[in-house]
Amino acid sequence: MNTAATQTLAPMPASAPARGKRRDDPKLELWIAWWVTIAFYNIFTIAFFILSRTQPPPKAWWHLPRIVQWFDDNHFGILFGFAMMFLIVGFSIAANALIAQSMRRMSVSPMFAYSYLIIYSLAGVPGMLLTCIALTVGAMRPDRDPKLLSLLYDMGFLSFSGTMGIFLIGSLVWGIAIVLDNNRVLPKWFGYMNLSNALTEVVVAPCVIFKAGPLAWDGSIAYYINMVIFGIYTGAFIMLLRNMIMREDFGSGVLPVLEKPPRR
Amino acid sequence: MTNVVSAGLGRSSGGLNSKAETELRASVIPGQPDIWVLVLLEAFTFSSYFVVYMIYRMRNPGLYLHSQAQLSLQLGVVNTIVLLTSSWSMARCVQSARAGDYGIALRDVSLTILLGLVFTVSKLFEWVTKTQAGLTFTSNEFFMFYYFLTGMHLLHVLMGFVFLGVVVYQLSSPARRSQEVIETGATYWHMIDFLWVIIFALLYVMR
Amino acid sequence: MAISASARSVLTWFGLCAITLISWWLGTHHEQGSFAPNAAVTLSVIGIAAIKVRVIFREFMEVRNAPALLRHLTDAWLGLSVAALVAAYLITRPLAGT
Amino acid sequence: MKSVNGELLVFWSLPVVGLIWVLAFLTFPGFVHPMSPTMTAEQVAAFYRDPGNLPRIRGSMIVFNWFGVALIPFLVLIVMQIRRMAHRTPVLAFCFLGCVAGGPTLFCMADLFWLIAAFRPERAPELIQLFNDLAWVTFTGQVGFLVAQSVFLALAIYLDRQPRPVFRPWVAHFNLAIAAALAPAAFVALALDGPFAWNGLLSFWVKNTAIAVWIVVMAVVLGQAIYRQRRENGVPA
């Protein structure tokens, strides 16, 4: 746990029974959600970038023999990496719950928090699990007809962009809530940045049309430039949520600014 | 990051009207400084699209030149003038609101919206005529970039109408009129303008 | 301080439109037909676009009165973008064998 | 105070729905003796072409499609109890609520893959095998939302800091044990035989038993919590 950070908090009501200090930290539930988010993204990175080698994605224009070879080369990585994703997919909800909580803390209608939570609750199904299922089924029988392997390959990589609407509308919901909020829960510039993230989901759409070039699923625009924006966005919101938890005062007014930790 | 932005760019509230205060405006950003994070992020994103376009273009310049001949340079020039004028009337809107002439400001922003609509309609008209001529998103690489870049830009224009709508909402009642919100909307609209200037140069004019 | 803010914006607008017409002229009136590769036209067009973008930043978006950080950031973006575009144009051009 | 009207109706529908689930489970011929992943494409096709199997496959999967989703109201009753716990924020309730639709939705997908495989049994055996694989991997491997919701529930119970908690601590330990029992099924595709294969000890018997036990035990403790809540609020039980 982030003890260094929690020590800088404003003093909390000391009425809670003294039975193990950490368990009585009233922010523990928020920190758990934050750390689960960190753990999820790390395991996601290991499974997709290192084990299965599905990120960065292989080429959309490959022909049958090359696709079969790709399944062969990554047989164990796909099966093991995606088994890990099957196991932990539900923990992706922690980030969405924390983001919904940020909106409950804002001076906006609770509808924003609930819309966001519902929009994102099944984001993992079209955006990740279908990819994992298709590629797992492909990898588990290497002797399958190459034409069927190629079908599963296309299904896998096209499904990976299947969350277009979820991220588009979800980012707009969060962004609008931040811009309208008067409690200064999250900075306005991050609200506007949600617009940039929403647009990446428009940019990715042509990957269902082009089999090669910058707009294909492995293309410089549809994949690499988008990934940079998504990376900046994800890094920003993880740090901002951490900041938000540190500032949390369990009130309903303006969220206080973080006090600088005293230097010793 | 919050601290960097607010300390580096910062000013917290708008609504400065009198002349003396106008003098004090030296070294401040109009509107919320936060909007500049979006402007710069989108600027860098579009720049990377432009560089990708240039690299692909130079692999096959003949195809691009031949395809460019199918575009109407005149329409591109008209589009540019329309957007430049809309930006100008938006700048006037900010000046008028700053001076307290809210009626004139409302007229200026209405002109901006009108010109934005003209731009949108002319873009749709251009797409329809090109599509009818058999030049579609998948026709060749140039037209892929053409529809992609103009489409992404038009999406920003459509979102710009939301910002302008908020400006109209602010101006239309004495109870609101936040100079900060008006200036934020203006900054967003000018972004549309400068992005188009580069798209016009790269798609229509360069050889 | 000779001119009012209003006159200044009119002049800005007029200058931007005039320079747009120059790029139009560049696009239509030059040797060997309009649709042949031409580095001079391309570089001038990119240069003109850069000038227009900078004028929009400085005048319409009032960056000229903004803190140094923003002035430098906008100039840095513009400089980087133009440099990258020109570099992409000049470096990959010989490969195309036009 | 929030109204609790109707919660008992949903709660007491569970035994009926549970009976339907058990009957549908026993009707599907692929569950009684779980199909082996080592079956060849021809053997898989023969399974679907068998006139004795076909109506049972279709019937059981239609019933599952109808009533699988009935798990969600039951899970939302648990959310209602999490909201009564002594937490400072609703974040753990949001975590659980975000998970509740995941399990039934993924089960619904597996259900559809089975129905598609059974729709034209005369299709090429490789294609029937493909959909059979998709169905079994989705059915067996997709334990993620169930694991996460058990862990989130356990955390919520541990952090329910009040003299008389909504659920007693052993319910939290029990949920972690169930999460551990479900976990191996995620690795279903790594082996075509042995305990991890989709007809194996861990992936089939342990996993499905764990789900059944979880539903029964949670129903009992949930019923106690609901009745206690009604007594405390003076609602006639």
Query: Of A43, A40, A16, which is closest to residue A27 (Cα–Cα)?
Result: A16
Structure confidence at residue A262 (pLDDT): 59
Structure confidence at residue C33 (pLDDT): 54
What does the alpha-carbon distance between residue C52 and residue C63 come to, in Å, rounded to a whole number?
Answer: 14
Chains D and B make contact, 3+ CB pairs within 8 Å: no
Mind giving me the DSSP string for B89-138?
HHHHHHHHHHTT-HHHHHHHHHHHHHHHHHHHHHHHHHHHHHHHTT--TT
Structure confidence at residue D4 (pLDDT): 84
The answer to whether D147 and D165 have CB atoms below 8 angstroms apart is: no
Query: Of A214, A228, A226, A218, which is closest to residue A156 (Cα–Cα)?
Result: A218
What does the alpha-carbon distance between residue B182 and residue B203 come to, in Å, rounded to a whole number?
Answer: 32
Taking only the tens place, the pLDDT of each residue in C3-44 is 788 889 999 999 999 999 888 887 776 555 567 788 888 999
Signed CA dihedral, D120, D186, D217, D3: sign only: negative
Domain boundaries, chain D: 2-232
**Looking at beta carbons, which residues of chain A come within 8 Å of B32?**
188
| pLDDT of A19 strictly over 60 | no
Structure confidence at residue D180 (pLDDT): 97
**Window A:184-203, CB contacts with B under 8 Å:** 187-193, 195-196, 199, 202-203
Structure confidence at residue B2 (pLDDT): 38
- Which comes out higher in pLDDT, residue B20 or A97? A97
What does the alpha-carbon distance between residue A227 and residue A19 come to, in Å, rounded to a whole number?
Answer: 45
Confidence of residue A263 (pLDDT cuts 50, 70, 90): low
What does the alpha-carbon distance between residue B130 and residue B138 come to, in Å, rounded to a whole number?
Answer: 12
Q: Which domain holds residue C77?
A: 5-96
| Residues near B106 by beta carbon (within 8 Å), at least 6 away in sequence | B168, B171, B172
Structure confidence at residue D5 (pLDDT): 87
What does the alpha-carbon distance between residue A156 and residue A60 come to, in Å, rounded to a whole number?
Answer: 11
**Looking at beta carbons, which residues of chain B come within 8 Å of A240?**
1-2
**Looking at beta carbons, which residues of chain C come within 8 Å of B92?**
6, 9
Structure confidence at residue A258 (pLDDT): 80
Q: Across residues A207-235, what is the average pLDDT?
A: 93
Structure confidence at residue A178 (pLDDT): 96
Structure confidence at residue C38 (pLDDT): 82
Check CB contact of A232 with chain D, cutoff 8 Å.
no
Check CB contact of A39 with chain D, cutoff 8 Å.
no
Q: What are the tokens at A261? A: 């930790």
Angle between helices D54-67 and D102-119 (to 10 degrees): 160
Q: Categorise residue D5: left if φ over 0, alpha if ψ from -120 to 50, beta otherwise.
A: beta
The answer to whether D85 and A24 have CB atoms below 8 angstroms apart is: no
Domain boundaries, chain A: 26-247
The answer to whether A9 and A31 have CB atoms below 8 angstroms apart is: no
The answer to whether B167 and B185 have CB atoms below 8 angstroms apart is: yes
Q: Across residues A217-226, what is the average pLDDT?
A: 93
For chain A, the first-to-last Cα distance in angstroms comes to: 22
**Looking at beta carbons, which residues of chain B come within 8 Å of C6?**
92, 95
Structure confidence at residue B26 (pLDDT): 53
Taking only the tens place, the pLDDT of each residue in B99-126 is 999 999 999 999 999 999 999 999 999 9
Alpha carbon A119 to chain centroid, angstroms: 13
| pLDDT of A212 strictly over 50 | yes
Signed CA dihedral, B156, B161, B165, B171: sign only: positive
**Looking at beta carbons, which residues of chain B come within 8 Å of C69?**
8-9
pTM score, two decimals? 0.89
Amino acid at C55: V
What does the alpha-carbon distance between residue B105 and residue B90 come to, in Å, rounded to a whole number?
Answer: 9
Check CB contact of B114 with chain C, cutoff 8 Å.
no
Confidence of residue A125 (pLDDT cuts 50, 70, 90): confident
**Cβ burial, residue A193 (10 Å; 0-12/13-18/19+):** buried
- Which comes out higher in pLDDT, residue A9 or C44? C44
B206 closest CB neighbour out of C24, C45, C61: C45
Per-residue pLDDT of chain D (237 residues; tens, 9 = 90+): 578 889 999 999 999 999 999 999 999 999 988 999 999 999 999 999 999 999 999 999 999 999 999 999 999 999 999 999 999 999 999 999 999 999 999 999 999 999 999 999 999 999 999 999 999 999 999 999 999 999 999 999 999 989 999 999 999 999 999 999 999 999 999 999 999 999 999 999 999 999 999 999 999 999 999 999 999 888 765
- Best of A185, A192, A196, A232 to mutate (most B CBs within 10 Å, chain B): A192
Structure confidence at residue A190 (pLDDT): 96
From A124, which residue of chain D is nearest by alpha-carbon distance?
D102
What does the alpha-carbon distance between residue D6 and residue D122 come to, in Å, rounded to a whole number?
Answer: 48
Structure confidence at residue B31 (pLDDT): 86
What does the alpha-carbon distance between residue A79 and residue B170 come to, in Å, rounded to a whole number?
Answer: 56
Confidence of residue A55 (pLDDT cuts 50, 70, 90): confident
The nearest CA of chain C is from the CA of B27 a distance in Å of: 4
Confidence of residue A264 (pLDDT cuts 50, 70, 90): low
Q: Phi and psi dihedrals of D94, rounded to 5? A: -60, -40
**Window B:90-149, CB contacts with A under 8 Å:** 137-138, 141, 144, 148
Structure confidence at residue B1 (pLDDT): 37
Number of structural domains (chain C) is 1
| Residues near A175 by beta carbon (within 8 Å), at least 6 away in sequence | A191, A192, A193, A194, A195, A198
**Looking at beta carbons, which residues of chain A come within 8 Å of D92?**
29, 32-33, 97
What does the alpha-carbon distance between residue A232 and residue D70 come to, in Å, rounded to a whole number?
Answer: 40
Check CB contact of D134 with chain A, cutoff 8 Å.
yes
* Count of CB atoms situated within 10 Å of the CB of A201: 20
